[in-house]
Chain A
Amino acid sequence: MADVSAVPENLFAYSDQCTGAATELQNWIRTVLGPAIDDYENGGGLCLPLSAAYASSQVASVAAVDKEVRLVGRAFQQAGAPTARPGMKQQYLAREQDMESALRTLEQTAQHQGQVDAGTALAGTLGEHPSPDDLARVSQALDAHSGDPYFTAGFFNHLDSARIAQLLGRGSTVQALVSAYASGALSRTASANVVRVLGWLQGEDVSPQHPHITAAEQTALLKALAADSTAAANFARSLSSGQIRNLFFGLGPVLNPDLRVNLLNTLTSGEWGTRDPELAHTILAHVSSAVFADGAPELPPDELDPLLAAFTHLYTAGADQSIPPPDASNPRGWADAYGKRVGGEIAPLLRAVKSMGPESNNPLFRSMIQGGYLNVLFMPTAVLAPESVVGAIGFTAVVGALQSFAGNYDPLAEVLKEYMPDGADKHNAGRLNEVITDSAGSLMISSLISRHLVTPNDGGPPVHFTGDQQADAALLKNVLAARGHYHVGNDEHAPTVDDMIDHFIAHEATTLDKNAW
């Protein structure tokens, strides 16, 4: 997607100056021209072909064009990054898609400006040193609007970190924050304030300069965000690798043992909630940079162990979501790219796991190898067409899978027995790689089935998912078990599912070799 640029200051000036001039003309039409026409027509004059209403509406249409320019400037500030141009006005560079998305949100918000302004007004009643009564009053007022994305965005966009911290444990503040995140209209400043508050755990410092939050409040916010994939995606979008590193290391995880897992789960939910492959890739890159890069603080094996499942969920979700939708015109090329992407994305995790050493006896790790997590990784409903992922069926399944195993039903145990010797005691990164490879490869095939691109060789119609979890899992199992008997796409030389997996593995393995070992 192309990069676009703008100097927001100039856009604001153009918009304000031109709409100001147009507004002045409209006022003159209303107060001078209109009465002049009325007096003339009432005084026996002819009926004019030109009315004040017509003239005003023409000027209004001109003003509307110029008014939008201000929103474009704000969209660049929201979605873009400033470039360094010493001595010149600030220029912003953005991906066109990001700027357009921010502009759409700003336009929608402008249509609900009344609600936004009401939220802003409520925030304004708090003042710099609110009393307990003030906090109680505002919290109660917020409760009534906690599901209103525009009111809550207007509210939180005008609160500083200290006020957010003071309100966090009260009433439905957490729900209100989730609504605000889901709206997409929460400003960068507000998002940064929320992340700052997440780092103000009681006990982390004794600074009297700002309020603190409890571990329970921190957990409640992360879990609530995880339950709303759109909110989670917007939260993840706003998180830099530095902020992830600050939350992950230091006293936070000591004071709140659930912090790391909850943060990873929220980011995973964000991965499932984004429709933007670039964002999915960026979230993973930020996590890799924060936790596994060369300059990162040490994450010893005994601390990585309990996080392995959560990391694997995150990296599998991120790798899958960072792939653009299947290209039916070139399925092999798409499988190659899928393999390269998965290999590249999961390499940092595997490098870290490798450092755990061959003697790791982590029971979760062993359980994963033996297939305990397979029904999570292979959950086919997770890769229904994107519009279904955030629908009730798909998303509930994913969240449920993140929180617990889906019973004992493991549809792929037979197919994968060859990868998992009985009583597996070869706990090593190579084995983990095979599990992830197989799961990601199966997710790839799931993607194709969900888009009706997989057809039996004997000439029947394309197979597809129905939303029935067990039936869908059985279908996927059958396709993988008979992978030479299904083909992808309608081309004369269409690849079989077997071909596709070969392409995927060849490229995934090559990329991993380059990056992980």
Chain B
Amino acid sequence: MVSSYDFEAADWLSRQLVNLEEKAKWLAWYRGQRQHGLLGGEKSDDWTGPRRKKFDGDFDAAQRTLAQLAAAAEQARKAVDAATANAHVAAQAKRHH
């Protein structure tokens, strides 16, 4: 049982974790946009060769990393929100005693 719980800090963190999830997703979207616009598709002249192929693999792996980070942010946010809800219940129970 938590004896004290900083609800303000919890609220602030919950919102920043939402921001982290959105920012990670935005960065993945932005990279995709820039890759498509500047580096061209697979058949374009803009960048060709084995090094391009390697980059495409690394690019996709990096996109997965960002997706995992967004998922981790969402999980952490849910955990914080659940802890906050529990702390509220505990605080109320204490008040009624």
* Interface residue? A409 (CB, 8 A): no
* Interface residue? A466 (CB, 8 A): no
Contact B51 A49 (CB under 8 A): no
The prevalent SS among residues of A at the interface is helix
> Chain B: which residue is nearest A8 at the CB level?
B47
Contact A33 B47 (CB under 8 A): no
Give per-residue flags for B68-82: 1 if the beta carbon is below 8 A from chain A beta carbons, else 0.
Answer: 110011011001100
* Interface residue? B2 (CB, 8 A): yes
* Interface residue? A304 (CB, 8 A): no
Bound Cα distance A99, B48 (Å):
12
Contact B49 A4 (CB under 8 A): yes
Bound Cα distance A45, B4 (Å):
9
Bound Cα distance A25, B34 (Å):
17
Q: What is the minimal beta-carbon distance from A287 to any residue of chain B, in angstroms?
A: 30
Contact B47 A11 (CB under 8 A): yes
For B76, give its contact among A32, A39, A49, A58 (CB under 8 Å): A49
Bound Cα distance A2, B23 (Å):
40
* Interface residue? A360 (CB, 8 A): no
Q: What is the minimal beta-carbon distance from A90 to any residue of chain B, in angstroms?
A: 12
Contact B76 A44 (CB under 8 A): no
A-side contacts of B69, CB under 8 Å: 55, 58-59
* Interface residue? A48 (CB, 8 A): yes
A46-B83, A49-B75 known; A32-B6 Cβ under 8 A: no
A45-B9, A69-B55 known; A25-B83 Cβ under 8 A: no
Which of the 9-residue segments A13-21, A116-124, A433-441 touches chain B?
A13-21
Q: Which of A422-451 contact B (CB under 8 A)?
A: none
A48-B76, A65-B55, A69-B55 known; A91-B45 Cβ under 8 A: yes
Bound Cα distance A28, B66 (Å):
15
> Chain A: which residue is nearest B4 at the CB level?
A44
Q: What is the minimal beta-carbon distance from B6 to any residue of chain A, in angstroms?
A: 3
Interface size class on chain A is 35 or more
* Interface residue? A305 (CB, 8 A): no
* Interface residue? B27 (CB, 8 A): yes
Q: Which of A64-106 contact B (CB under 8 A)?
A: 65-66, 68-69, 72, 91, 96, 99-100, 103
> Chain A: which residue is nearest B11 at the CB level?
A40
A5-B49, A96-B50 known; A45-B39 Cβ under 8 A: no
Give me the interface of B with A, judged by CB distance under 8 Å: 2-6, 9-10, 12-13, 16-17, 19-20, 23-24, 27, 30-31, 34-35, 38-40, 45-52, 55, 58-59, 61-62, 65-66, 68-69, 72-73, 75-76, 79-80, 83, 87
Q: What are 26 sample pairs from A and B whose C-beta atoms fall under 8 A apart?
A: A11-B47, A17-B30, A18-B34, A21-B30, A28-B19, A32-B16, A33-B17, A33-B20, A40-B6, A44-B4, A45-B6, A45-B10, A46-B79, A46-B83, A50-B72, A55-B73, A58-B69, A59-B24, A59-B69, A61-B62, A62-B31, A62-B62, A62-B65, A72-B55, A100-B51, A103-B51
Q: A46-B80, A62-B31, A91-B46 are in contact. List 12 more A-B contacts (CB 8 A).
A: A2-B49, A4-B52, A14-B35, A17-B30, A18-B34, A21-B31, A39-B9, A45-B83, A48-B80, A49-B72, A50-B72, A65-B62
